[in-house]
Structure 1
Amino acid sequence: MSNSRIRNKSEKIRKRRRRVRWVVFPILIILISGIAYGASLLNKAESVMNDSYTPIERESARETKVDPLEENFSILFVGVDDSEVRDFNSTSRSDALMVATFNKKAKSVKLLSIPRDSYVYVPTLEKEDKITHAHANGGVKSTIETVEGLLDIPIDYYVKMNFNAFIDVIDTLGGIEVEVPYSFSEKDSKDKHDAVHLEEGLQELDGEEALALARTRYHDNDIERGKRQQQIIKAIMKKAISVKAITKIDDVMEAVGDNMATDISFDDMKAFLNYASAGTNLDIETLTLAGSDDYAGPMYIYSLDEEALEETILELKVHLALAEQSELDNLTSSDEDDVDENNSND
C-alpha cells in the first residue's frame, strides 16, 4: 500500500463521521417526541402513521420479522427528488439515502449517509449504476434491494419523504436561520427555474428557500452541498426544540404525514419511545461512505473505497448484533498494522 493511499484512506476514515445530510431523521424524531406530550398528540401520531402506512411486497433478508420492541433493527430513509409537479411517481430519483441502525441494549443509533451518486450494483438494472437510479427503476423496493446488497445487512423498515415534507416542516416551524455562503438563483419545488434568489449572508429562510439552498450544486460541489444540508439540519433541530415550536408539534406531524410513506406500523413506532426516552443521553453516531470522484464513461460517479466500505459494513453488523465486536477490532487493527508497516519502510 503506497504512502499516499495510506494518507488518503486515513483522511477518508476521519471524514466518515459527519452530520446527517438531510432532514428526514430530525423530522421523524420530532414526530416521535410529540407522542410524549399527551393523549391528543398520541391520537394525532396514530392517525399520521395509519395514513402513511404503505407496506410493500418484498422478500425479507431475515428469516423472521424483526420485533423492534425486543430486537435491534434498521430503517432506510429515502428522500425523494419529487414534488406535486412531478406527480409523486415512483420513477423519481432518490435525492438522499440514509440507513439507521438501532441497538436496543445500548440505546444507540448509527446513521449512515449514502451519497446519491455512489456507483453500486442495482439488481433491477442487473448492472452497476448510480444508487439514485435504483428508485427510478423500481421505487422503494428496488432501493431496499440495492442497499441490502451494498451493505449486506437486512433493511427492516423504510421511510420515504418528498420535497413537500421538507418545505412544510420548515414553514410550520416559522422558518429557520441559516448562513447562505454565496448569492445564487435556483429552481423551486415546482421546477420553475430561477424562481428562488438568495443573497449571501445570515438570514431567515422559508421552506422553498431552504430547499433551494439544500439542492443547489452548480456553484461548488457535493462536499459543500453536504455542508449546506448540515447547516439546514442544525437550524431545523434548533428551531424544533425551542419553546415556541413545542406548540407546533401537532402541525409538524400533519405536515410530515401528508408527504410520507412507510411500512412502520403505529404499534412498531412505539418501539421508538425506548430510544426517545433516553433524551440527551441517546448515543447517535453519524457515518458516511468514503470514496472519491470518478467517471463511468462520460457519467460522473462517486467511487466507493472498498476497504472503508468493508469496515462500515462490519460496524453496522456489530451494531445490529449480526457480527462480533472482535471481528471489527481485528479488521481495524489489521488496517493499523498495514499503516505502521508502510511507515516503517519509508
Structure 2
Amino acid sequence: MNDEELTDLRRSRNHHPQAHHHRGCMILILFLILLIGGGWLIWRHLNPTSHFSNLKTVSNSTSKIKQSSGTFNVLVIGSDERKNQTDGHTDSMMLVHANLKTHQYHVLSIPRDSRIYMPGLGYTKLTSVQTVYQTKYGAKKGIFKAVQTISSYLNVPINYYLETNYMGFRSMVDAVNGINMDVPFNVTLTHPWYAEDQNKVITKGQHKLNGKMVTEIVHERDSVPGTDFGRQQLQETALVAIINKITDPVNAFKIPALANSMSKFLVATNMSKTDMISIGLAVKDNFDATKQVHYLQLQGKNEVLYDDILENYNDEIVLQQSQLKKIIDQNFSN
C-alpha cells in the first residue's frame, strides 16, 4: 500500500458514520450528566427543607427557641404608607410560623393598639413603632429596627419580614385576577381609601372581589364586630382567599412570575426571590388553607394609658403575657 492509499484509508476511518455516532452519543451523555447534575444542584438549593435551614434571625430576641430545618418565622406588616412617603403607621401585623415539612402554618394576629415598650423611648402603641424608627433612621433601617423591637416584645426569633401597603396589597390581589372572599359579617366602609366607597355595605357571604375592594374591606374596623379584632378576622379571611388562589394548580406556573414581580407588592423585605420560589414549591401541591393554616388571636384588656411617644393618654390593649408566652411556646417552636 503506497502513501496515497494509506492516507485515503485514514481519512475514511476518521469520517466513518459510526465514529460520528459514538462521538455524538458521548457529547449527548455528557450534556445530560451536566443537565441532571445542574438540575440536582438547583433543586437542592430550592428544596424547601434544605433551603430553610440554619437561618439567620433579624431579631435581638433572647428566646431559646430552636428552629429545625424546613421551618421559619416571618413578620408580615401592613402599613398605611402612601406613595412617595418614607414612613408609615402599622395598620396590621401577623407573625407566621411555617413548617414546610409538615405543611402546617400558624398565623398570629397582633392588635395594632397593643401596648409596647420601645427601649430608651418608653411605652407606646404597636402602630407607632414603625413610624418612630423610620422617621429617625430612614425607611430601610427603620423597618429593620421595628422588626427587632417586635421580636424582642414577642420573645420569638424572626427570620424574615414582609412589608406591604395599600397599593401593594391591591396589586397582589389584581395579579391573581381577584379572589373569592367569604366575608364573615356585614362590613360598612366608614373610612374608605376612595370617596366613592363611603358608607358602601359589603354583605356577609361569598363575593368575587378585585384588589381595590379587598383593600377597602380589610382596612375597615369601626363598623365591624370587635373593631381591631374584627379587622384581623377580615384580614385573615382575605389572606386565605389569596393563598387558595395562588396555590390553585391552575396558577402554579405563575409562582416564578409572582416572585419576580414582588417589588410591586412589597415596600420592604429581606426575603429573596429564591426564598419565595422555594416556598411556592412547598405549598403548590394539595394545599388546603382550612386544614393547614391555623389562626391565633391574642387576648388583652382595653385601658386608657399614657403614651410616652405621643405624650397623651389614649386607648391601648394590654396583652395577657401568660397567653402570649403559651401561644409562642406551642406554635412557634418547632
Please give the range of the TM-score, normalised by the shorter of the 2 chains: 0.5 to 0.7
3-state DSSP class of the match of 1:99? strand
1:205 is matched with 209
Cα separation, 2, equivalents of 1:177 and 1:266? 27
**Superposition deviation, residue 80 in structure 1:** 1.6
Compared with structure 1, are the counterparts of its residues 194 and 279 closer, same or farther at alpha carbon in structure 2 (3 Å cutoff)?
same
Of 300, 303, 306, the residue aligned with 1:294 is 303
**Percent sequence identity over aligned pairs:** 21
**TM-score (structure 2 length as normaliser):** 0.63
Alignment of 1:146-295 (within 5 A): 146-178=149-181, 179=183, 181-188=186-193, 192-193=194-195, 195=197, 198-201=200-203, 203-220=207-224, 221-242=227-248, 245=251, 249=255, 252-253=258-259, 255-260=261-266, 261-269=268-276, 272=279, 275-276=282-283, 279-280=286-287, 283-295=292-304
Q: How far apart are 1:118 and its partner, in Å?
A: 0.9
Q: Check conservation: 2:112, 2:228, Cα contact below 8 A.
A: no
Offset at residue 308 of structure 1 (A): 0.7
| Cα deviation, residue 71, structure 1 | 6.2
CA positional deviation for 1:162: 1.8
The 3-state SS of whatever aligns with 1:313 is helix
- The amino acid across from 2:124 in the alignment is D
Deviation at 1:102, TM superposition (A): 3.6
Shift of 1:58: 6.7
Amino acid at match of 1:110: H
8 Å contact from structure 1 (residues 196, 209) kept in 2:
no
Tell me by how many angstroms 1:258 deviates: 1.7
Q: Which has the larger radius of gyration?
A: 2
Deviations 1:164-222 (A, max 9, x none): 2211122233333444714445432xxx5455553343543321221111112222322
Question: What is the CA-CA distance between 1:114 and the residue it aligns to?
Answer: 1.2
Q: Secondary structure at the match of 1:153?
A: coil
Give the aligned partner of residue 123 of structure 2.
Answer: 128
CA contact (8 A) 1:196 1:212 kept: no
Tell me how far apart the structure 1 counterparts of residues 278 and 254 of structure 2 sit (CA, whole Å). 23
Aligned to 1:119: 115
Q: Which amino acid aligns with 2:110?
A: I
Residue 77 (structure 1) aligned with residue 76 (structure 2): yes
Measure the CA separation in 1 of the matches of 2:316 and 2:246. 35
Return the alpha-carbon distance in structure 1 between the equivalents of residues 77 and 88 of structure 2: 11
CA–CA distance in structure 1, aligned partners of residues 245 and 284 of structure 2: 20
Q: Deviations over 1:110-140 (max 9, x none)?
A: 32221111112122x5312111211111131
Distance across 2 between alignment mates of 1:317 and 1:206: 33
Paired residues, what number?
A: 257
CA drift at 1:292: 2.7
- 2:318 is aligned, of 292, 303, 317, to 303
Deviation at 1:73, TM superposition (A): 3.0
Cα contact 1:292–1:302 (8 A) shared by 2: yes
SS at match of 1:137: helix
Query: How far apart are the structure 1 equivalents of 2:277 and 2:176?
Result: 25
Query: Contact between 2:107 and 2:293, CA under 8 Å: does it hold in 1?
Result: yes
Gaps of 5+ in 2: 1-38, 47-56, 134-141, 307-312
Matched, 1:92 2:107: no
State the SS of the aligned residue for 2:333.
helix
Residue pair 2:78, 2:91 contacting (<8 A) in 1 also: yes
| Counterpart secondary structure, 1:155 | coil
The structural deviation recorded for 1:104 is 6.0
Q: What's the TM-score once normalised by structure 1's chain length?
A: 0.61
- More relative contact order, 1 or 2 (CA 8 Å, 6+ apart): 1
How far apart are the structure 1 equivalents of 2:104 and 2:177? Answer: 31
